[in-house]
Amino acid sequence: MSLFLNSLHSLLVIQLLLAISYGIINVSASSDAGSRQVSALELEEIKQYLENINKPALNSIQSPDGDIIDCVPVDKQPALDNPLLMNHTIQMMPSIIPTYRGGNYTTKNIRQLWNDVGSCPNGTIAIRRTTIEDVLRAGSLSQFGKKKLSYRSSTLASPPQGHEYATAHLGSTQNPIYGTMATFNVWNPYVDVDEEFSLSQLWVSAGSYDNSDLNTIEAGWQVCPLIYGDSNTRLFIYWTTNAYNGTGCYNLECRGFVQTDNSVAIGGALSPVSTYGGSQYEMTLGVLKDPSSGNWWLTFEDIFVGYWPSEIFTLLSNSATSLAWGGEIVNTSPNGEHTSTDMGSGFFAEEGYEKASYIRNIMIVDSSNNLSPPASITTSATYTNCYDVKSYNDTEWGVSFFFGGPGKSSLCT
């Protein structure tokens, strides 16, 4: 299978070169935009980008959802092309693991679809292959992998037009923050049009949007047809060091996140997902700062997937100043009405367990490297008639909240 996939990749590159020699060609991308004219110069730039980002693989795996997962040697991954990481030594595991202070992290066995058909060998990492269709859906190479201008959020309390949230925020604190961990209920929400998305995530931040020095680390699950070309629920990450203005990107599409694990593909589809009134599936995510190296580690379930090196950040090279968790959608107002895009399960927080989406067992990391529940959280929603949020706290679930909603309705117009 891997030989076939590598041969197919080579054939596609040859076809691309032949197309370039004939000048302007028509390329079809799987989105509402359909096919568009691509100049020879643009196509050449895309080809060069794909050659740089799609590193040579030891073998490749065809995922049931259509993705190709490349098994790339850990020391050949894209992040190491970053000039800031020129002399970087890969840290294979964190030096110290935070000490848990309460909390129940038992989860259903959520997995990624490609794990059902193959695995990457030791010494490699799993990378979802980027295709020309992926780039074309973004509209331009410069925009690929980044948040669209309309997607860039200033603050959760004062979102840009089109963004709607139902979130929880860390209560007021003067203490530096060194990470968070929480368990996320996983769903497959309906997304009305390809230019919209629906997600559930955590935010680890320092700085501010207004000063253009906002550093963020983001991780969660999302449904985003514009990025992936389908409506699957996928694991994602994002980072920026200057309020989304030129730095950072989704997943591994730019040089930043250093992956060390071979069993998780960032951007890969998740399965199974929760059903209304039925089985509930969860994933536990964490972003934890290593007190020795300063790197910010991503955990997925009990796996240390990789890290954002301290070198790529400015303010987050020290500590975070704010945390948030929750749901977000983009509302493009199709047909002049509020979108029908679901947030979470598509049902309001008041529906409760097995019906509404939730985030539970929220923990934060303090300066002593202890992982413990926050003293308080503050919940807020942009438009409660469309999507809402309700906090919850007990001995089993710890600090938690339900959130979500269906979007367009008689009350949400």
Of 275, 198, 273, nearest to 236 by C-alpha is: 198
CA–centroid distance for 84 within its chain: 23
What are the residue numbers of the active site? 218, 328
Helices and strands per DSSP (H, E), number in the chain: 4, 23
308, 239 Cβ separation under 8 angstroms? yes
Pairwise CA distance, residues 217 & 44, whole Å = 32
Pairwise CA distance, residues 311 & 326, whole Å = 28
Evaluated on CA atoms 338, 204, 326, 147, the torsion sign reads: positive
Pairwise CA distance, residues 171 & 152, whole Å = 24
Secondary structure in 3-state letters for 327-388? EEEECCCHHHCCCCCCECCCCCHHHCCCCCEEEEEEEEECCCCEEECCCCEEEEECCCCCCE
Pairwise CA distance, residues 223 & 230, whole Å = 8
DSSP-based three-state secondary structure for 358: strand
Q: Which token pair is 303?
A: 């796996």
Tell me, what amino acid is at 149?
Answer: L
Strands (E), 231-335: 234-240, 258-259, 270-271, 282-289, 296-300, 303-308, 322-330
Pairwise CA distance, residues 300 & 162, whole Å = 30
DSSP secondary-structure letter at 349? Answer: G
Pairwise CA distance, residues 9 & 1, whole Å = 12
Element (H, E) at 345: none
DSSP string, 199-227: EEEEEEEES-TTTT--EEEEEEEEE-HHH
